[in-house]
């Protein structure tokens, strides 16, 4: 029972990856707030049933859980989700920012509404819940924050400018949260999952490359993601903070971070002419290929 006595919030926990994480945290002794606004893939509507079903499943397995139906996408929602934990069990130890939607569109067609909906759910939503929990974690000098990022942002993906911006924004949010909270024994990390869920079912499959990518993802279960989340939530993971992990079937990976790959310097400073002369034989040799997540992760997953 590595999470005995811990109180956790999992957002977007009615389906997919969030549901698996909520079930496993509860199985390891955590008391869990199952948050989900019960929306459609595109982010509309609001039903209580999906969250209630996960709460019932946890109770049936002998665990403890309560539902919360707020949207993460506002400060009031974030506060209400954390308040549910505090009102029910008097504390909040673990936050898993997992709720998410997709509104894919090429950058030249993307609407303001599509941009805002995705940024609000992922990036603002992760901030809203973290912001509500951080003062309490600081006070009790213990906390674990786990955010979901994506290789759509870390590597790139066609037609997902809003989602990629949100998911890389979440990495920045996580890094600075980890720095701000380090002295209070609170860690923050990101998981970049690969799993077949309803959300992935919305990825367009118009081209052969898109179809091939989706076929690979279909083999990967959201259950593969949960053990890493439970481990990061535990006491054992107290020295792991500010990191980005990937889970792809039975493979777990640690991602690198943005650091200079190569430096050039000129004693007289740079002019355009000097750059045109020196760039091709120096920095150009180290440019990162412009590729999609599916092109980079092109090998069959171990499942
Ligand atoms: N499945 C993948 O391969 C994959 C890849 C990269 C990242 N992710 C990330 O993992 C997380 C989970 O995705 P999933 O694939 O399990 O998707 P999913 O659609 O199966 O589950 C997402 C859940 O979030 C809920 N939700 C959406 N907006 C919400 C809001 N505003 N407030 C509360 N709940 C909300 C939905 O109702 C749904 O139950 C997301 O952050 C997603 O971006 C998934």
Angle in degrees, CA 204, 208, 214, rounded to 5: 50
Question: Is beta strand 7-10 parallel, antiparallel or unpaired with respect to 94-97?
Answer: parallel
Q: What one-character-per-residue DSSP string does 111-132 give?
A: -HHHHHHHIIIIIIHHHHHHHH
Q: Is 246 in the pocket of ligand 1 (CB under 6 A)?
A: no
Instruction: Please give the share of the chain, as a percent, with pLDDT higher than 70.
Output: 98
- Enumerate long-range contacts of 176-179, CB under 8 Å, 24 or more apart: 177/130, 177/134, 177/145, 178/241, 178/242, 179/242
Which residue, 112, 109, 119, is CA-closest to 159?
109
Atom from ligand 1 closest to the CA of residue 196: 1
- The pLDDT value given to residue 43: 56
User: pLDDT digits over 97-134, tens only?
Assistant: 999 999 999 999 999 999 999 999 999 999 999 999 99
CA of 12 to the centre of ligand 1 (A): 6
Q: Is 73 in the pocket of ligand 1 (CB under 6 A)?
A: yes
CA of 96 to the centre of ligand 1 (A): 11
Rounded CA-CA distance 62/65 in Å is: 10
Which residue, 64, 57, 166, is CA-closest to 110?
166
Q: Is 97 in the pocket of ligand 1 (CB under 6 A)?
A: no
**Residue in 10, 13, 14, 17 to alter for ligand 1 test, most ligand atoms within 8 A of Cβ:** 17
Q: Which residue's CA is minimally distant from atom 30 of ligand 1?
A: 71
Q: Which residue's CA is minimally distant from atom 7 of ligand 1?
A: 150
Q: Both tokens of residue 44?
A: 């509309």
CA of 99 to the centre of ligand 1 (A): 4
User: pLDDT digits over 149-168, tens only?
Assistant: 999 999 999 999 999 999 99
Q: Is 197 in the pocket of ligand 1 (CB under 6 A)?
A: yes
CA of 173 to the centre of ligand 1 (A): 18
Any idea which residues carry the catalytic annotation? 163
Q: Is 51 in the pocket of ligand 1 (CB under 6 A)?
A: no
**Residues near 282 by beta carbon (within 8 Å), at least 6 away in sequence:** 262, 264
DSSP character at residue 300: P
Q: What is the mean pLDDT of the chain?
A: 95
26: pLDDT confidence band, cut at 50, 70 and 90? very high
Q: Is 17 in the pocket of ligand 1 (CB under 6 A)?
A: yes
**CA Rg value for the chain:** 20
Task: Decide if 42 contacts 103 (C-beta within 8 A).
Answer: yes
Q: Say whether pLDDT at 224 is over 80.
A: yes
Rounded CA-CA distance 130/188 in Å is: 10
Rounded CA-CA distance 270/214 in Å is: 46
């Amino acid at each position: 029972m590595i999470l005995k006595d811990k109180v956790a919030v999992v957002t977007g926990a009615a389906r997919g990856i969030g549901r698996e994480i909520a079930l496993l945290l509860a199985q390891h002794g955590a008391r869990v707030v199952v948050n989900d606004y019960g929306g459609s893939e595109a982010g509309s509507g609001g039903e209580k049933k999906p969250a209630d079903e996960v709460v019932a499943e946890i109770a049936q397995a002998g665990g403890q859980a309560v539902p919360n139906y707020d949207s993460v996408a506002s400060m009031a929602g974030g506060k209400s989700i954390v308040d549910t934990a505090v009102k029910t069990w008097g504390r909040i130890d673990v936050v898993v920012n997992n709720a998410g939607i997709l509104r894919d569109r090429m950058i030249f067609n993307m609407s303001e509404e599509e941009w805002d909906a995705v940024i609000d759910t992922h990036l603002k939503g992760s901030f809203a819940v973290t912001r509500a929990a951080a003062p309490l974690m600081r006070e009790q000098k213990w906390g674990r924050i786990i955010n979901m990022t994506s290789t759509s942002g870390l590597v790139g993906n066609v037609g997902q400018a809003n989602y990629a911006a949100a998911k890389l924004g979440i990495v920045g949010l996580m890094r600075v949260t980890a720095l701000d909270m380090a002295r209070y024994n609170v860690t923050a990390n990101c998981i970049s999952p690969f799993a077949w869920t309803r959300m992935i079912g919305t990825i367009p499959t118009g081209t052969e490359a898109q179809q091939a990518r989706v076929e690979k993802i279909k083999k990967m279960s959201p259950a593969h993601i949960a053990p890493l989340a439970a481990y990061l939530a535990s006491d054992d993971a107290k020295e792991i903070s500010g990191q980005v992990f990937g889970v792809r079937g039975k493979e777990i990976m640690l991602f690198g971070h943005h650091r200079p790959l190569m430096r050039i310097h000129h004693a007289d400073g740079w002019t355009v002419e000097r750059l045109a002369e020196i760039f091709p034989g120096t920095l150009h040799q180290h440019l990162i290929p412009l590729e999609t997540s599916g092109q980079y992760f092109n090998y069959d997953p171990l499942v």
